[in-house]
């Protein structure tokens, strides 16, 4: 498909498109990881709050 694009800039265009796709995927992964970090922090905060409300009565072993 790249060779159907005329001119000598086809390899440069393909490289730019592949780089843009990689950049977009890297951004998506970073956003997902940040969301996971936030969820983990919220979970840990919830466990601490529950433990503070009833110390020693909750088994949180994983």
Q: What is the pLDDT of residues 10-24, one digit of tens each?
A: 789 999 999 999 999
- Angle made by CA atoms 49, 50, 55, in degrees to the nearest 5: 105
Q: What is the pLDDT of residue 34?
A: 98
pLDDT for residue 51 = 82
- Per-residue pLDDT tens digits for 18-49: 999 999 999 999 999 999 999 999 999 998 88
Exposed e or buried b for every residue in 1-26, given b needs 16+ CB within 10 A? Answer: eeeeeeeeeeeeeeeeeeeeeeeeee
Q: Where are the domains of the chain?
A: 2-53
Q: Is the whole-model pTM more than 0.75?
A: no
């Amino acid at each position: 498909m790249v060779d159907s694009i005329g001119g000598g800039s086809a390899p440069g265009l393909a490289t730019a498109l592949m780089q843009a796709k990689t950049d977009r995927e890297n951004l998506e992964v970073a956003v997902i990881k940040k969301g996971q970090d936030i969820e983990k922090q919220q979970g840990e905060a919830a466990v601490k709050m529950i433990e503070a409300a009833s110390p020693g009565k909750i088994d949180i072993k994983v």
